[in-house]
């Protein structure tokens, strides 16, 4: 059950609030009288992540504590940062109902630093999988997309752009083998904006994301939903080839990545990846849902091609698709096939 403080600036423990979390590492003392800090997990420009145990719960489950460092010492900026931090944390908490997103268990501020406490997901990242097992097949990458696209679509429905989709931020859970998407850039975005005198600006002042996985508009501080689609495309290339983004050459005229010589995939999947990786967001898939439907269409391409190029068939025992009543439920693929047949018949009638 998430324990989300209504006032993140409040304290639970005087000792915990006066010291940094690092002072509780390899110590018998509990951080905020609740968390046993076990070890650091990683360090970045925005803060440090620690593995801990929540001793308030019966099973003392593992959790992840993220210590975030705002880039200001101005007291007025810090007070405004607390308000924004609460808003960003509540937005992340709204995503916790999805089984492939870690739950936000707690958030608070202490000692001028900001903390998030989330579920600990035990498992391997996709980057670790590729390093250990080698690159994946086209079928495996398509299965990856089938697993992760509903998660990204859920995030976008909640009006959140992840901003940092990449293999190290996708974990395959040891418990049930599900893919879990971690490390959202929304909170880091607010930290990059909180600088002395800059925290009232509505636009981002610093880049948030990972170079190579972030598309041009994100580097220009204008991320959009299709920025996550681009990052997914780069992740697919990594799974297919084992190559990092810097190992791909860009076309000097179009800006498109030159990757086809490194991986052999079907023509349809190649075109899908190319569209995901378009430098301009206008040329990419407008939404994750459209991308998913494009992938679902592939098994039906042969039959759709026959609809476009085949001749009129004589009377047969099987009912024509054109004559099926439209008031019955049709899958998206059936509806598209119906529209193509209508277009074909219209063209044939014009010719005759």
Query: Catalytic amino acids?
Result: 164
How far is Cα 99 from Cα 121, in angstroms, rounded to an integer? 11
SS3 letters for 260-329? HHHCCCCHHHHHHHHHHCCCCHHHCCCCHHHHHHHHHHHHHHHHHHHHHHCCCCCCCCCCCHHHCCCCCC
Q: How many CB atoms lie within 10 A of CB 309?
A: 8
Sign of the alpha-carbon torsion through 342, 344, 350, 352: negative
Measured from the Cβ of residue 347, the count of other Cβ atoms closer than 10 Å reads 11
Instruction: Report the C-alpha gap between 104 and 125 in whole angstroms.
Output: 20
What letters, b where the CB count within 10 A reaches 16 and e where it falls short, cover 276-294? bbbbebeebbebbeebbeb
What is the C-alpha separation between 276 and 283, in angstroms, rounded?
8
Spatial CA neighbour of 287 closest among 215, 223, 226: 226
């Amino acid at each position: 059950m998430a324990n989300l403080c209504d006032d993140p600036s409040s304290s639970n423990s005087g000792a915990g609030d006066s010291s940094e979390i690092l002072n509780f590492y390899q110590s018998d003392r509990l951080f905020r009288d609740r968390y046993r800090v076990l070890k650091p997990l990683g360090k970045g420009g925005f803060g440090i992540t620690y593995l801990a145990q929540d001793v308030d719960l019966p099973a003392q489950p593992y959790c992840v504590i993220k210590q975030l460092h705002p880039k200001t010492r101005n007291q007025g900026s810090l007070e405004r940062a607390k308000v924004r931090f609460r808003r960003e944390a509540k937005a992340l908490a709204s995503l916790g109902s999805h089984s492939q997103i870690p739950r936000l268990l707690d958030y608070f501020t202490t000692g001028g630093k900001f903390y998030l406490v989330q579920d600990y997901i035990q498992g391997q990242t996709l980057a670790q999988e590729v390093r250990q097992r080698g690159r994946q097949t086209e079928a495996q990458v398509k299965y990856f997309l089938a697993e992760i696209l509903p998660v990204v679509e859920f995030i976008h429905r909640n009006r959140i752009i992840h901003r940092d989709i990449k293999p190290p931020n996708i974990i395959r859970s040891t418990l049930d083998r599900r893919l879990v998407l971690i490390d959202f850039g929304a909170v880091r975005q607010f930290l990059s904006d909180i600088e002395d005198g800059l925290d009232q600006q509505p636009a981002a002042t610093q880049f948030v994301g990972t170079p190579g996985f972030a598309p041009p508009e994100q580097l220009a501080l204008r991320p959009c939903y299709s920025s996550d689609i681009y990052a997914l495309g780069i992740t697919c290339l990594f799974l297919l080839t084992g190559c990092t983004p810097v190992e791909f050459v860009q076309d000097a005229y179009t800006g498109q990545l030159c990757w086809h010589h490194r991986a052999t995939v079907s023509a349809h999947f190649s075109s899908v990846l190319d569209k995901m990786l378009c430098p301009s967001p206008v040329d990419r898939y407008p939404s994750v849902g459209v991308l998913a439907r494009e992938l679902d269409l592939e098994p039906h391409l042969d039959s759709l091609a026959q609809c476009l190029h085949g001749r009129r068939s004589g009377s047969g025992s099987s009912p024509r698709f054109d004559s099926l009543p439209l008031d019955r439920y049709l899958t998206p693929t059936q509806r598209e096939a119906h529209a193509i047949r209508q277009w074909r018949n219209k063209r044939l009638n014009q010719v005759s």
